[in-house]
Amino acid sequence: MNKIHYLKEGLFFFVLSFALYNCSPSAEITKSVTDIERPIPYPIDIPDRFTEAVESATRSETGAPGRNYWQQFAEYTIYASLHPDEKHLESIVNIVYHNNSPDTLNYLHLDLIQNHHTEGIERNRAAEVTGGMNLVKVEVDGDTLEESYMGDSRYIVTGTRLILMPTEPMVPGEKKQISIEYNFDIPQSGAGGRMGYDGDNLFYLGYWYPQMTVYDDVVGWHPDQYLGLAEFYHGFSNYEYHVDVPSDWVVMGTGEFLNPGDVLTSRIYDRYQASQESDEVVNIIKPEDFGFATRADLGKRLTWKFHAESVRDVAFSATRESMWDGARTPVNDFEYTHINTFYRELAPLWEEVTAYQQHAITFLSELTDFSYPWPHMTAVEGSNIISGGMEFPMMTIMGDYNNQGADLLYNVTAHELAHMWVPMIVSTDERRYSWMDEGNTSFSTNEARMEFHPGEDHHEDSRQSYIRWAESDYEGAMMRRSDFHKNRAAFSVASYSKPASVLAALRGVLGEEVFYEAYQTFINDWAFKHAYPWDMFRTFETVSGKDLEWFWRSWYYETWTLDQAITDVRENGALTEIIVEDLGELPMPVNLTITLTDGETVEHSIPVDIWLKGFRVASLSIDEKDIQRVEIDARRNFPDVDLSNNIWEKE
């Protein structure tokens, strides 16, 4: 019979019977009546506004959207003219905004991300000053609004926020028509390296239009300014947009490409069409096609048209000397999406990016159990705009990776494409909870890497990145507001490597089958909706049937570290006794792999309950004898900060 004991030398004990996970139903527990020896996770903090949303049934105790869930919606029509020589964009955006909330809205809020480049604005990272967005004309329902701090029919600009104050408030169920004429000078590497231009042959335009701020059931109008580090939170909308460019430029953007036959020459159009039916890469534009890929004569202009439904944002690229490769890839047993890759001759590693995209989109559709839903996925090489990568619906911009190598180019490709699921399908607030999109994405990236580059545990990179930072004075809790970490390294660990490692650890706690059922349930339940951390937490608890509050508190709200150690293995009569000490502050189950002298391996576990009762040391008594080796977490699920004490071997 296996027995587990809590140990505390020199103190009085009493015995309780308790059933413990994988242990014998009659396992003995020796519990101290003295003070606890370690931090015990207390209940997690849930904002009152979220609790109120559950009470009003827009959200639920189970983690699924509530029966009264609602979200706002908008329809955009945009006409834009790009002037490459002047590095300038002129545009008009018409927005139909639907108030699906039960609230009357006295003001309407829009984001003006280009104002990140205004002189004197608050930032947490450096930015080129270009003057920001110049508003020429602002209208609501046909009435022209003036910039003013007093009066009716007015607007104010504060930082990266535009606030409209129409004469009449917006009642529930109403829609308002907003029209804004604007222009701006394009920064070379704008919005934190997320858009811009390189030389005289490449533009990538993100955050290029006034965009409705999210108004949701938990916070209302989201008040957070864009400071440059933490990213974005957008609502789902429909878009019809036209981009006017000189004739020797080629445009691709979010959404269905509406008029390829009108703008591409017949030769290029035929290749484009062929690529949509080809599993192999088709070279749509080659170097010899530069300047001859479109229908208009030099000196003329062409308009490229796109349409997208239920997306958080739109972005577009304009290239003059980029090669264009295309192919298709399956997203399920019956459907395909089109893959586009635009890259210049300076980026030879990009010849493989179409294949990288094919693998990632197909793999991630299966991993999430949610088929990639859009007509294309496009990657654009943007050296000197960005060194890493940045995602938009159906579009990503990435560096050339000439110095980093092909493996890392695959990694960043898979990462940016994984963002199509979070936050582009499951919308999350990146300005407050960057870990929700970056952590989920880093986890699924590592899973894609495991298949693309087999034979190695690619989650180990994330674990080591987190562990190197874990015991520093700079680590911030993942639930800390994203823009308010002590420095960019702390932000990065709390947003990327730690949450990716924590999801892998959660899989180790729940087992693969239950974990993926919960993970996929969360993706599918919240597809095209706005999810908060507590929705995710509750989904995992509902699916698993386990109370995981100790896990959320320990990993997401604290900066505790995990350090489990085997301190002794000894024979005790007919049994073998294994002594485990928990040296860290973070409680986790202890999974032991025991190798016998004949080579046979057996597994035993000490459940997390031991540590949750405040003890530091536990003894596991097992029937097996002739033990050669004992190892904690041989499958390497948990990010233990010191592996040197995880193995005992018989001398």
DSSP 454-500: -SS-THHHHHHHHHHHHTSTT---TTS-GGGSSSHHHHHIIIIIHHH
Model confidence at 70: pLDDT above 90: yes
User: What is the structure's pLDDT at 57?
Assistant: 98
- The DSSP element (H or E) to which 538 belongs, if any, is helix 533-544
pTM > 0.85? yes
User: CB of 293 within 8 A of CB of 246?
Assistant: no
pLDDT digits (tens, 9 = 90+) for 308-354: 999 999 999 999 999 999 999 999 999 999 999 999 999 999 999 99
Q: What is the dihedral of CA 283, 289, 291, 293, to 10 degrees?
A: -60
Written as six digits, the tokens of 352 are 């493989």
What secondary structure, in 3-state letters, does 333-396 show?
CCCEEEEEEEECCCCHHHHHHHHHHHHHHHHHHHHHCCCCCCCEEEEEECCCCCCCEEEECCEE
All residues at 6 or more sequence positions from 400 whose CB lies less than 8 Å from its CB, including other chains: 343, 346, 347, 349, 350, 381, 383
Model confidence at 543: pLDDT above 60: yes
Does residue 146 sit in helix, strand or coil? strand
User: What is the structure's pLDDT at 4?
Assistant: 64
User: CB of 535 within 8 A of CB of 541?
Assistant: no
pLDDT digits (tens, 9 = 90+) for 602-636: 999 999 999 999 999 999 999 999 999 999 999 99
Model confidence at 24: pLDDT above 80: no
User: What is the structure's pLDDT at 554?
Assistant: 98
Q: What is the largest CA-CA distance in the chain?
A: 93
298 — pLDDT class (breaks 50, 70, 90): confident
Going 139 to 143 to 144 to 148, the CA torsion angle's sign is negative
User: CB of 549 within 8 A of CB of 44?
Assistant: yes
Model confidence at 75: pLDDT above 80: yes
User: What is the structure's pLDDT at 441?
Assistant: 98
CA-CA distance, 590 to 593, in Å (whole number)? 10
Residue type, 55: E
CA 136 to chain centre: 35
Q: What is the DSSP string of 292-304?
A: -SBSSPTT-EEEE
572 — pLDDT class (breaks 50, 70, 90): confident
Model confidence at 538: pLDDT above 70: yes
All residues at 6 or more sequence positions from 83 whose CB lies less than 8 Å from its CB, including other chains: 89, 90
- pLDDT-wise least confident of 76-85, 295-304, 455-464: 295-304
- Which residue carries 């590497």 as its tokens? 189
In percent, the amount of the chain with pLDDT more than 70 equals 95
Which residues are paired to 237 by β-bridges? 74, 311
Count of helices and strands (H, E) across the chain: 13, 38
Model confidence at 285: pLDDT above 60: yes
Model confidence at 14: pLDDT above 70: no
Model confidence at 17: pLDDT above 60: no
423 upstream amide cis, omega within 30 of 0: yes
Assign residue 372 a region (left: φ > 0; alpha: ψ between -120 and 50; beta: otherwise). beta
User: What is the structure's pLDDT at 150?
Assistant: 85
User: CB of 194 within 8 A of CB of 401?
Assistant: no
The mean per-residue pLDDT over the stretch 461-487 comes to 92
